[in-house]
């Protein structure tokens, strides 16, 4: 308290203290309480809250993509969403999962080391039952997977890893590959038991069957990109938009897309009555078309190229002679030049 007392107030205070009306303990300085944070040196925190939040955002995208992919493949309602993201020791993770279970050892190229994708047995057998023609019912029997069931789950995990690559694309061009599938957690020792890991828990529902998928990433694996797991880097990379990595990914995906190509020989106007009266052998005379004229080649719903008809072996073909857009641009520039003169 910064208030200055007058002489009269000081005298009254001294009189009250000497008479015992006021307890001097009431004016003692309060002791400063220091906040103590408990730190366990056996479990050092490797990830900050901001980095954990960034990992959560990345895998929310992964969950949405996986929901769509599995729903289409299983032809059933599938729901996947991030339940939690925690950091713990690898030993604690191994003890928390059932035995047997489905453990996919994932090679995190170009990052060093491996990660673990664990799928709850209830979800595993529900997926297998659905793909084998059943209703997608889970089983309460705990057993190892057969060779055929293991092969089926390999295909599912490979499909899921494609979604993981896209979810991580803002941070690194991850190329995850499935190494092997284990059913006993004790055989999946990818790091020492005391090593810290980040565990992404995904609540999964296939039809009426509910379970968990866990994605375990060791700190040693994710350490080279730990600086990129920040909100500032994440949002700046989103704003950058088209980067070299993104363009290469887009080119790779666009190169596999099939588009229809149609050659237009010509056109004419007919009434509905004439169309209905057409029979085999009728000849239709095209308007403003000549046998030596260039024909338009449509890609999708746009005219893109000029071409000439021809033949290769016993098949009809066309030879591309120019781009329609380029020709139209030249004609437009010539028209502007003439108007300027």
Fold of the CATH domain 49-254: Chemotaxis protein chec (3.40.1550)
**pLDDT block averages, 10 residues each, the chain of length 341:** 64 73 56 62 71 88 91 88 90 89 91 91 90 79 85 91 88 89 87 90 90 91 84 58 65 79 82 88 78 79 85 86 66 48 49
pLDDT of residue 40: 58
- Residue 90, token pair as written in the block: 């690898």
pLDDT given at position 115: 93
Where along the chain do its domains lie? Answer: 49-254, 261-276+286-340
Say how far apart CA 108 and CA 106 lie, in whole Å. 6
Identify the pLDDT of residue 214.
93
The CA distance from 26 to 30, in Å, is 10
Asked if residue 220 lies in contact with residue 191, where contact means CB atoms within 8 angstroms, the answer is yes
Fold designation for 261-276+286-340: Surface presentation of antigens (SPOA) (2.30.330)
Report DSSP letters for 104-123, one per residue.
Answer: EEEE-TTSSSEEEEEE-HHH
What is the 8-class DSSP label of residue 8?
A: H
Query: Token digits for 235?
Result: 């949002």
| pLDDT on residue 234 | 57
Q: What is the pTM of this model?
A: 0.57
- Dihedral of CA 205/52/170/252: which sign? negative
| pLDDT at residue 231, rounded to an integer | 64
- The pLDDT of residue 118: 93
C-alpha dist (Å) from residue 215 to 14, 95, 198, 329: 71, 15, 8, 54
| Nearest-angstrom CA–CA distance, 293 and 106 | 59
Fold match between domain 49-254 and domain 261-276+286-340:
no
Whether 217 and 115 have beta carbons less than 8 Å apart is answered as yes
Residues 234, 50 contacting (CB under 8 angstroms): no
Residue 82: predicted pLDDT: 92
Give how far Cα 110 sits from Cα of 113, 157, 211, Å. 9, 19, 31
pLDDT at 172: 86
Assess contact for 196 and 186: CB atoms under 8 A.
Answer: no
């Amino acid at each position: 308290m910064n208030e200055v007392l007058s002489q009269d107030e000081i005298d009254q205070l001294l009189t009250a203290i000497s008479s015992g009306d006021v307890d001097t303990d009431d004016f003692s300085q309060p002791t400063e309480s220091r906040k103590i944070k408990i730190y366990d040196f056996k479990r050092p925190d490797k990830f900050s809250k901001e980095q954990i939040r960034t990992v959560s955002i990345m895998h929310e995208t992964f969950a949405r993509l996986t929901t769509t992919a599995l729903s289409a493949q299983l032809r059933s309602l599938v729901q996947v969403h991030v339940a939690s993201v925690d950091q713990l020791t690898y030993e604690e993770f191994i003890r928390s999962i059932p035995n047997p279970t489905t453990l996919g050892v994932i090679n995190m190229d170009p990052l060093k080391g491996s990660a673990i994708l664990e799928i709850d047995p209830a979800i595993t057998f529900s997926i297998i039952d659905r793909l084998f023609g059943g209703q997608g019912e889970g089983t309460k029997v705990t057993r190892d997977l057969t060779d055929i069931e293991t092969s089926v789950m390999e295909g599912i995990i490979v499909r899921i890893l494609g979604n993981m690559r896209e979810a991580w694309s803002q941070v690194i061009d991850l190329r995850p590959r499935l190494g092997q599938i284990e059913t006993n957690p004790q055989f999946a020792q990818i790091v020492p038991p005391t090593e810290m890991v980040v565990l992404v828990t995904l609540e999964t529902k296939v039809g009426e069957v509910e379970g968990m998928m866990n994605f375990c990433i060791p700190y040693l694996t994710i350490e080279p990109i730990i600086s990129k797991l920040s909100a500032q880097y994440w949002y700046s990379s989103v704003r950058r938009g088209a980067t070299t990595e993104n363009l290469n990914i887009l080119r790779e995906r666009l190169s596999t897309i099939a588009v229809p190509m149609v050659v237009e020989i010509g056109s004419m106007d007919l009434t509905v009555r004439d169309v209905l009266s057409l029979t085999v052998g009728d000849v239709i005379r095209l308007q403003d078309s000549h046998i030596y004229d260039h024909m338009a080649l449509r890609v999708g719903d746009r005219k893109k190229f000029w071409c000439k008809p021809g033949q290769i072996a016993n098949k009809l073909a066309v030879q591309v002679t120019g781009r329609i857009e380029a020709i139209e641009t030249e004609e437009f520039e010539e028209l502007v030049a003439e108007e300027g003169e």
